[in-house]
Amino acid sequence: MRALKEHFVDKYFGYRRGYVDYILGAVPKRAPLAVLSELVRLAFVVVTSGLCAVIFWLLTAGALQRGGKPGAWLWLFIPSALAASSFVLLALRGIVEAARDRRRVLERARR
């Protein structure tokens, strides 16, 4: 579980400050673009994961409305809906971190 968190969650959904710091050291004038690219990437993740979450929550509600036993579909849709919803939250957290770090990057890039 730790490897999954380090590889997938921290690298994909976390704001990649190490990447921005590398750009800041190598080509300081391009560092604000590196932050902007992270903001855009994470915004894309929010939108696409949000759409998936809506679809999976609607499928979950539909499986519950069928009557009778919920069946295997419900056990597929609920984890999928929860995963997509958590991806939205993780990407939003990354956006907040990138936005907070933007001022620092701009100040260092101007020097």
> Domain locations in the chain?
2-110
- Pick the residue with more confidence: 8 or 88? 88
pTM: 0.84
Predicted confidence at residue 55, as pLDDT, reads 98
Question: What gap in Å lies between CA 57 and CA 75, rounded to an integer?
Answer: 12
Predicted confidence at residue 56, as pLDDT, reads 97
18-39: buried (b, 16+ CB within 10 Å) or exposed (e) per residue? eebbebbeeeeeebbebbebbb
Residue 70: pLDDT over 80: no
